[in-house]
Amino acid sequence: MALASGTRVGIYEVTAKIGEGGMGEVYQARDTTLDRDVALKVLPEAFTADPDRLARFQREAKVLASLNHPNIGGIYGLESSGDAQALVLELIEGPTLADRIAKGPIPVDETLAIAKQIAEALEAAHEQGIIHRDLKPANVKVKADGTVKVLDFGLAKAVTSDAASGSATTSATMSLTASATQMGMVVGTAAYMAPEQAKGTPVDKRADIWSFGVVLLEMLSGQRLFTGETASETLAAVMMKEPDWDRLFTDLPVHVSTLVRSCLEKDPRERLRDIGDVRFAMKGVFGPSVDRLTEQAGPVPFASRPAQLLIAALGLVAVALGLFGWLGQPAPPAVGLTRASISLPPGHALSGGPEITRDGQRVAFVSSDGNGQPRIYTRRLDESELSELDGTEEARQIFFSPDGRWIAFYARGGFFKVRVDAGEPVRLADASTSEGGYWLDDGTILFTPAWNSGLFRIDEDGGEPEPFLIPDRTSSYAITWPSVLPGGREMLFSRWSGSAQAVMRLDLTDMTESVVVPGHWRRSRFVSSGHIVFAGDGGDILALPNEQGAASTLTPEPVLENVDGGGIDGYARMAVSDNGTLVYSPLDLSKSSLVVVDQSGGLEPVDVPLGTYEQLSLSPGGRRVAIMSNFELFIHDLDRGSRIPLVPELTQDGDQQRPVWSVDGTRVIFASNHDGSWRLYSKAASGAGEVEPLLDGRFDLYPTAALADGTIFYEENNDISSDLWYLPPGGAPEPWLTTAAEERQARPSPSERTMAYVTEVSARLEVSIQSIDRSSDPVLVSTAGGTSPQWSPSGDHLYFRNGHRMMVTEVSTEPVLQATVPRVVFEGGWELSDLTVFQERWDLLPDNRFLMVNHEPEAVPTKINVIFNWLDELRDRVPVP
């Protein structure tokens, strides 16, 4: 939230903006009561929108405010004004230590004076059970008078003061660490982290000891120590490289070498436990005290004996991390395969990506905390800062430009691009759906304006889209997931025919096609090891050698398991950089079940086997439930626990989804694509009899509800948006609500007088109500996002989802149609809710309880796995001739 100069936040008047980052925007302000200048760090809106997280942060901020020390940037308090929530901080003038180091080596006497103050700041924090976890030169300021201030304890972690076990508690973790500021691989910056941080394991104050040594060494050398071309080289060296201790300790006394090895042990259990011990170690190397040395020493050249001893004692950090270059030693051998992970904060769920730049430096993904629309987040792998990209609400299926500076994405009926560093998104074209895309080296982009439109090509600066590859409608009905091979002569894509998605190769010189591998495969990609990788059913990633004309005769080999296939859109959430860094979202949807949730949020399990439950719809009496699992429909009897397939005769020819019951409970209406596109059908709920075709059309159709007279309401996904139509019995289709915006999920009230539905309002999906004959004006029910409306049996309450919240409003029709302000019924992530509209993962029972899909922890996409140097493993598993 940008604040203009003169804006008041409580008693503070903003005077200027002085910076921004993942933790929010920073402003200089004037305390109008005490007449002093302060810094205001305005917290991100996505963070402050969650009352629980904000309350938890406020409690923990009090802990950090207790750090009253002359070498720690002070926290004066918390202030709020309207929607703005800000930390009030001490305003500290002067350059950062990073600015000083950028100018060259810092003299030893000055280095030691700075290091002493840093150590004292850390010691004061550690004594109160708080660790920094992101100590680096950019988080240290040096004032004109030489006073040092350690900043940004917003990445700190409160731990118990009793460190005997060396473990950290989770009850007092600074909220910004695990939320808007840090969806990172680990908390901290790769160049300064301890080995246990690089592994993503819990850390304690000994991690600060490691970081302290790296900072000290950078002050003496004047160089950024960790300058590997990729994050993998840095992280792998931190975790895996062991220095040659015998060679390094040749000139050191035994007691000093023992002390240093204790300080730099990779295993934190063997490392010195207190920063005071490090100060003692410095005394042992330099003489009686650091203070005396600082007082007695004049300017000392970098290569002087004290500096050499300091490098020998504390420069082992650089050796331990494999950075020999600046010391004149040979470079370490190439590091091997390394695994890490990016953990999303509690309440967040991945809904798009991950993607990675070609050079492997930056990742991007779409995530929502359940309280707002999904947005794009991005960060470099070698840094801790995470950026939320403004204006990317409802983003889907993102991909990078060749240089990694832009991200293309679909959202809100359009196709956009946005810079990774700043700026508003640029709308390039209309797009009603999102079926992948590719940014070509020549400055044009391939994208899909509509589900079955085929591929179009547009200039990266906009313009009129031109057809590029269009399905012929006879042998296929959709073309998706383009991926251009290096050199730009060939392209991979998926061709849909019925339920099959064959991986195809297109020769771009003459536009001839050939089958790479037939069957049901998704999202093929070329990787620089000479392989083609693609997603299969069941969460597997498979690979084939990239051999022109021969791949279709080979058997795809699985190379990765339990990868999120993206649910109903079939979007395999994985990407590989040119240098072999793999990022993917692990997910096992087979670990799902059903639960009944009461009005207070109490949970009662339903006796069903673990399975893949993606959509459900309760029969009118609430005794049976229609379930979509792996695009097959089943009818499950909740009383007997029995289950029958609804349309096994269609399973081999296509997929089925979106089941809706007739009002009398005798039939189930559903969508199937067994003839090429999604059309409406029905069948007896007993499974007996024939499938009845209901409606064919030019666009994809999905049922949403049925009336007592047999009228069926459905969504029509056209080339621009989704509209609501209805089909009267024996009649022709009629439009109910058709606008340029999205309209979905029509739900008639039990009296069939009022319709609830989801519509797009100011680029956000909201729940509205209107008389079913549309004689009244629409009434907006939700105001902060809403999907999946369901009426209570009495019809006077309307429930809907807002992220992980179950909301309810009271509806009345007299004297006019109106609804009360929605209130929260309960919160819980039992069903994967990211404000998408394709998945119906809950329904209302006759007793006003809720039947919901319950995903086991491993079934919720809450982290991104990273494998560095994955191509070596890929070559071993699938050799390239």
Q: Tell me how far apart the alpha carbons of residues 867 and 638 are, in angstroms, rounded to a whole number.
A: 43
At residue 295, what are phi and psi to the nearest 5 degrees? -70, -35
The conformation of residue 332, written as its DSSP 8-state character, comes to: P
Is pLDDT at 676 greater than 90 in this prediction?
Answer: no
Q: Tell me how far apart the alpha carbons of residues 392 and 371 are, in angstroms, rounded to a whole number.
A: 15
Is 252:312 a contact under the CB 8 Å cutoff?
Answer: yes
Q: Which residues contact 351 (CB under 8 A, 6 or more apart)?
A: 366, 367, 368, 374, 396, 834, 836, 861
Provide mean pLDDT across the span 540-549.
Answer: 78
Strand partners, 730: none
Q: Quote the pLDDT of residue 441.
A: 93
Per-residue pLDDT of 271-281, as tens digits, reads 777 887 666 55
What is the model's pTM? 0.51
Tokens matching residue 675 = 């003839």
Cis peptide bond N-terminal to 354, omega within 30: yes
Strand partners, 407: 400, 418
Cis peptide bond N-terminal to 815, omega within 30: yes
Is pLDDT at 301 greater than 60 in this prediction?
Answer: no
User: What percentage of residues in the chain have a pLDDT greater than 90?
Assistant: 31
Which of 209-218, 465-474, 541-550 is least confident? 541-550
Q: Quote the pLDDT of residue 287.
A: 38
Which domains, from first to last, does the chain contain?
A: 8-90 (3.30.200.20), 97-327 (1.10.510.10), 341-587+865-877 (2.120.10.30), 591-604+745-852 (no CATH), 614-740 (2.120.10.30)
Most confident of the ranges 422-436, 615-629, 667-681: 615-629
Q: How confident is the model at residue 593 (pLDDT cuts 50, 70, 90)?
A: confident
Closest of 881, 453, 499, 816 to residue 656, by C-alpha: 499
Class of residue 848 by CB neighbours under 10 A (exposed 0-12, middle 13-18, buried 19+): middle
Q: Quote the pLDDT of residue 535.
A: 76
Which of 41-45, 387-391, 815-819 is least confident? 41-45
Per-residue pLDDT of 422-461, as tens digits, reads 789 999 998 877 788 999 999 999 998 876 678 999 999 9
The conformation of residue 586, written as its DSSP 8-state character, comes to: B
Query: In 511-630, which ranges are E strands?
Result: 512-517, 522-527, 531-535, 541-545, 557-560, 574-576, 582-584, 592-597, 603-605, 615-618, 624-629
Q: Which of 109, 134, 152, 655 is catalytic?
A: 134
Torsion sign over Cα 257, 262, 266, 272:
negative
Per-residue pLDDT of 480-507, as tens digits, reads 889 998 778 899 888 876 545 678 889 9
Is 656:628 a contact under the CB 8 Å cutoff?
Answer: yes
CB burial string 371-380: b at 16+ within 10 A, e below: bbbbbbbbbb
Q: Tell me how far apart the alpha carbons of residues 765 and 372 are, in angstroms, rounded to a whole number.
A: 10
- The reply to whether 162 belongs to the active site is no
Q: Tell me how far apart the alpha carbons of residues 73 and 325 are, in angstroms, rounded to a whole number.
A: 35
Is pLDDT at 758 greater than 70 in this prediction?
Answer: yes
One-letter amino acid of 843: D
Q: Quote the pLDDT of residue 590.
A: 56
Three-state secondary structure of 38-75: EEEEECCHHHHCCHHHHHHHHHHHHHHHCCCCCCECCE
Strand partners, 805: 802, 827
Helix axes 254-263, 275-286, angle to 10 degrees: 150
Provide mean pLDDT across the span 565-571.
Answer: 54
∠493-742-497 over CA atoms, to 5°? 25
CB burial string 23-45: b at 16+ within 10 A, e below: bbbbbbbbbeeeeeebbbbbbbb
Q: Quote the pLDDT of residue 736.
A: 97
Q: Tell me how far apart the alpha carbons of residues 791 and 301 are, in angstroms, rounded to a whole number.
A: 78
Output the DSSP codes for 100-143: HHHTSPPPHHHHHHHHHHHHHHHHHHHHTTEE-S---GGGEEE-
Strand partners, 542: 534, 558
Is pLDDT at 235 greater than 80 in this prediction?
Answer: no
Q: Tell me how far apart the alpha carbons of residues 164 and 269 are, in angstroms, rounded to a whole number.
A: 10
Q: Quote the pLDDT of residue 840.
A: 78
Query: Tokens 């420069």 label which residue?
Result: 315
Q: Quote the pLDDT of residue 762.
A: 67
Q: Which residues contact 518 (CB under 8 A, 6 or more apart)?
A: 500, 502, 552
Judged by DSSP in three states, 290 sits in: helix
Which of 256-260, 321-325, 538-542, 632-636 is least confident? 321-325
Is pLDDT at 671 greater than 60 in this prediction?
Answer: yes
User: Considering just the CA atoms, what is the radius of gyration of the chain in Å?
Assistant: 30
Is pLDDT at 184 greater than 60 in this prediction?
Answer: no
Query: Tokens 């967040």 label which residue?
Result: 348
Q: Tell me how far apart the alpha carbons of residues 380 and 100 are, in angstroms, rounded to a whole number.
A: 23
